[in-house]
Amino acid sequence: MLTGAASPRGIGRATADRLAGDGWAIAILDLDAEAARTAAAEIGAAHGTRAVGVGVDVSDQGSVDAAVNEVEAALPPILGLANLAGISSPTDFMAETVAGWDRVFAVYMRGTFLVTQRVLDGMIERRLGRIVSVSSISAQRGGGTYSKVAYSASKAAILGFTRALACEMGPHNITVNAVAPGPIDTDIMGGTLTEERKAQLSVEVLVPRVGTPAEVAALIAFLLGPDAGYITAATYDINGGLRAS
């Protein structure tokens, strides 16, 4: 199950495609219900796998509960969850408002909490599960993409969430990990990136380009897959070396 996987050029959609190719049944939960259903139909047709698309606001408990109920009724038990739902937040700190700050934390932190807690019930019962949440280099470096302080702070919260939850879930044979991408060629940073913006974003990247959604998808698919059972509480950097530069 993936949240935030409906936008056609996004990391979530690329991950859904990748996982479907690996034989997973796919559930796409997204604020854009129509796009979630379209993505699921396309993935089902392309890979011959079962796929459902459901509308959700990850920051709303009732909405999360209803969406996961729908997934559980339609598909086999949920083995893996990728928390990808997200918004950008390019507001300078001194212009930030309480409403803006709270919305970013509601989507990233409350959303990750609500969706993860909702699916963990079944995973604990079955003694098998994989959780992967998307943080950002912005949490580690204080920037490197487009968004500002609220985004960096909420993405840093994802890292603490991941490590602490991994401690509680290890005994249940459930792994909990994070990935921290550098700039990736999606539409979240204020629209599709021009060649000029890609060049600006890659100035300090050791591999001098922005990353692709498919590259992040491959990492998430590995962490959700059968070979990653001894990896937990980890943060995987995927940033072309930006953090080191």
Nearer to ligand NAD (CB atom), residue 17 or residue 57: 57
Nearer to ligand NAD (CB atom), residue 50 or residue 103: 103
Sign of CA dihedral 55, 67, 214, 148: positive
d(CA 167, CA 98): 32
Q: What is the smallest separation between the CB atom of 179 and ligand NAD, expressed in angstroms? A: 8
**Which residue is catalytic, options 108, 151, 230, 236?**
151
Q: What is the smallest separation between the CB atom of 26 and ligand NAD, expressed in angstroms? A: 15
d(CA 140, CA 241): 13
**H or E segment and range at residue 235:** strand 235-238
Give SS3 for 184. strand
Applying CB under 6 A, the residues found at the interface with ligand NAD are 3-4, 6-7, 10-12, 30-32, 56-59, 84-87, 107, 111, 134, 136, 145, 181, 183-184, 186-188
Nearer to ligand NAD (CB atom), residue 34 or residue 168: 34
d(CA 11, CA 18): 10
Query: Residue 174's beta-bridge partner residues?
Result: 129
On whether the CB atoms of residues 5 and 27 are closer than 8 A, the answer is: no
Q: What is the smallest separation between the CB atom of 75 and ligand NAD, expressed in angstroms? A: 18
DSSP string, 151-163: HHHHHHHHHHHHH
> Is 151 designated active site?
yes
Report, as residue numbers or ranges, the catalytic residues: 151
